[in-house]
A and B are shown apart, each in its own frame.
Chain A
């Protein structure tokens, strides 16, 4: 099913039928919110009718349900958008369809991408493909599970604070977050607009990289995309000779899970064997990333989610008083789940008169310091940074739902990168008691090509199925 290995003679129609079969078999994961064999077939027919052989050539792609599509509902896994149908396609959807992708599967997620376990979906939690008692990570848990379970070769997720790399690490797949501004956000339902990035899951660096290159590039409909030459299809570096890989000391705390520590340590050894120089670096402000993130992202979210008021679209509930205030209260009070409400309240609070300077402005200053750390590390001659992706392997469902802060800390190594706007990826580097462990590679802004080439070399050198300790 992977286009990188696919034979010329394979037809999209056959791939679509196989994908449908696998989707039916995997219903218990609860990883999808909408799909149909009819749409899979129609999409495959469209692709088979295309004149030229395309980059993705019939690849079935699952989309996180916060990427709008004309053919299917887009709910963000929220009651408030139940049944909502977008009149337009996201820019990435148009680009991927033009590149030959078959788009007919919408994936489950944490409501409005707020969560780290995909337990905050209004439509039920997603199960980890290797252990139904565990979470796949989040918020793009549905997309991650679909790729990990071998149902689709690649899927789109979105990141605001690590929502693709963290579930990629939990599920043992590749997750790539591009530089902010590399991929159009037009049609991605906004959460934290200064952080949001459409990102990719793949079984391999190559597959995920192909999808990324097909959808990247300037979009006149998104003023925050950069006018850069399109990202070329990924290359594989033969070795890492001449590269300097930095290992930030702050990303290896004493309480790091031993399996994760072991996996990353082994990866560092492979990187050295591939010829790279490995050097310790310091990113002292990264430790403030989670609190900084939980000011900036909710502030932007509170404004971004104000549009769900029941006036123009989505679910409307009339309140007891029958006036407009009461309509707002009822629609939003019943339409949003508890985690979304918590973040709207936090966001509203930190922007309020008298608190703005203490919270939002301060957070923006810390954000700049976090980004400066990376800048300095790269300026000191480091080409890439290598860290663990998550502090632990996948945790059990229900383990952190009562403790939001513990849940937030699952993103401690991934969310600094969103605040800095850098490209990064997670790739599987081993198993700890059967659960996948991921390592994270981080590159300077807009150096995805170097990141992907190096990651592909590391991917070949490590055995993701090997138990680590």
Chain B
């Protein structure tokens, strides 16, 4: 048996309009080298000027993760040569980062509540991108990404399984989205993960030799890659070999990890304070103001929804998984819907379309009206789903829609009695079986009545009517 030790380095793009040290736009997907200027191209004589909004967002991210934000932090140059790095160094932070000492907690399948330390959060600029498929036989450089503001969030090696790594990422992403600091989209590269993993015998306090796994494009692939690397390390150690400190790339196609081609020259980045940028000084007041204006974070929202609306823990967790869903839920409830009914709707129809399109096809106010119609037995729950579909994408009044679809529930005894009589007449065999004691057939009759009425019959009114007819009929025969 082996214990797995994992620590994650997560880079998130801060949600700014312009780059970290210049005024170029940060738009995703623009044609190569269109969002560039002397500063992010590293032209001779150009100088960086920090983006105040990036600092503000990074500060809020750090506070949302429970970090201590330092009043003085220092930008440093990380030196290495690579064609996507215009200045030959990346402006980052090194021994004096913006923030240290936070925490992310989540439910682990194996260990219950797990608290993972956040070692540090620092601000840095992104590098550009090499394009190998644009020019035959040549490598092209796109510097649109160069200078994009990033926060690097480093965890302690507190994770004990690939599944925990994934759960940590899901939680971290949720917090950062709630805090409004990043889009956290792995597809668009606004969230990237590098993982450090080692294994050791349980009870061992020293860490084993770690490897670094890169190139994972989804949380699921982070888990897969770590499973693969874990298996590789176990095999090495169990066959008496050693784990080398290498960087590995995950191949989602094969599900395997492979050491990077270039032999890892133990990089000496020769960090030193960037003389172009004075130390970043934030006042205690300003930091406190950022903390005070943080929105409600997922953990707090979850427990509030549980207590304020008497929601089951499961419901509260599902609804708070996305801040948009949670906000929608609360609007529906405020508009007069029963909380549990609203939760059911959101965990069903609403979430399906929200996950697909990121949008709500029916406004919260309209959904509340529909829920109220069901509560008043004006439409059946069954019919309400059809009404919802009809309302999608338009702003129809649910009552009017139900009416047009002929789905207004009928509880008028005369009309119901006609459908009941027709059903009983059409199923003499079942009537006999009911009368000989097979009373569970009542559900069958209710279903038939609903069918005959095209869903318009109010099942709550149908049931007593059926019972009295069947009993009366039984009485007359006997």
Which residues in A have some Cβ–Cβ distance to B below 8 Å?
Answer: 66-68, 74, 76, 81, 84, 86-88, 90, 185-190, 192-194, 220-224, 299-300, 302-303, 305-307, 309, 311-313, 324, 328, 348, 351-353, 356, 360
**In this complex, what residue of A is CB-closest to B274?**
A193
Q: Given known contacts A303-B88, A360-B272, is B81 in contact with A309 (CB within 8 Å)?
A: yes
B83 at the interface (CB under 8 A from A): yes
Contact with B278, one of A189, A192, A223, A356 (Cβ below 8 angstroms): A223
The 5 lowest CB-CB distance pairs between A and B, nearest first, are A306-B88, A194-B275, A193-B275, A351-B270, A187-B45
**In this complex, what residue of B is CB-closest to A75?**
B44
Q: Given known contacts A86-B45, A186-B47, A307-B86, is B276 in contact with A224 (CB within 8 Å)?
A: yes
- State whether A223 touches B88 (Cβ < 8 A): no
Tell me the complex Cα distance, A462–B89, Å.
Answer: 49
**In this complex, what residue of B is CB-closest to A192?**
B275
- State whether B79 touches A303 (Cβ < 8 A): yes
Tell me the complex Cα distance, A300–B275, Å.
Answer: 8
B87 at the interface (CB under 8 A from A): yes
Tell me the complex Cα distance, A302–B89, Å.
Answer: 10
B276 shortest CB reach to chain A, Å: 5
- State whether A193 touches B268 (Cβ < 8 A): no
Residues of B close to A306: CB separation below 8 A = 79, 81, 87-89
Q: Given known contacts A193-B276, A306-B88, is B268 in contact with A353 (CB within 8 Å)?
A: yes
20 further A-B pairs in the complex, CB-CB below 8 A; given A223-B47, A223-B50? A66-B45, A86-B44, A187-B45, A188-B45, A190-B47, A190-B276, A193-B275, A221-B49, A222-B47, A224-B275, A224-B276, A299-B272, A300-B275, A307-B42, A309-B83, A311-B83, A312-B41, A328-B81, A351-B79, A351-B271
Q: Given known contacts A303-B88, A306-B88, is B44 in contact with A186 (CB within 8 Å)?
A: no
Tell me the complex Cα distance, A48–B79, Å.
Answer: 48
B132 shortest CB reach to chain A, Å: 13
- State whether A190 touches B45 (Cβ < 8 A): yes
Residues of A close to B358: CB separation below 8 A = none
**For chain B, what secondary structure do more than half of its interface residues adopt (helix, strand, loop), or is it mixed?**
loop
- B 17-53 binary contact with A (CB < 8 Å = 1; else 0): 0000000000000000000001001111111111000
A-B contact count (CB 8 A): 103
Residues of B close to A186: CB separation below 8 A = 45-47
B42 shortest CB reach to chain A, Å: 4
Interface residues of B in 264-280 (CB under 8 A from A): 268, 270-272, 274-278
**For chain A, what secondary structure do more than half of its interface residues adopt (helix, strand, loop), or is it mixed?**
loop
13 A-B residue pairs with Cβ-Cβ distance under 8 Å, sorted by A, are: A76-B44, A81-B44, A84-B44, A186-B46, A193-B274, A221-B49, A222-B47, A223-B48, A300-B275, A306-B81, A307-B86, A309-B88, A351-B270
B122 at the interface (CB under 8 A from A): no
Residues of A close to B268: CB separation below 8 A = 352-353
Interface residues of B in 72-89 (CB under 8 A from A): 77, 79, 81, 83, 86-89
Tell me the complex Cα distance, A224–B277, Å.
Answer: 7
Max chain B C-beta neighbours (<10 A), residue from A87, A312, A328? A312
B177 at the interface (CB under 8 A from A): no
**In this complex, what residue of B is CB-closest to A305?**
B88
Q: Given known contacts A87-B38, A324-B83, is B44 in contact with A351 (CB within 8 Å)?
A: no
Residues of B close to A76: CB separation below 8 A = 44
B167 shortest CB reach to chain A, Å: 36
Q: Given known contacts A221-B49, A306-B81, A311-B83, is B272 in contact with A351 (CB within 8 Å)?
A: yes
Max chain A C-beta neighbours (<10 A), residue from B42, B44, B49, B77? B44
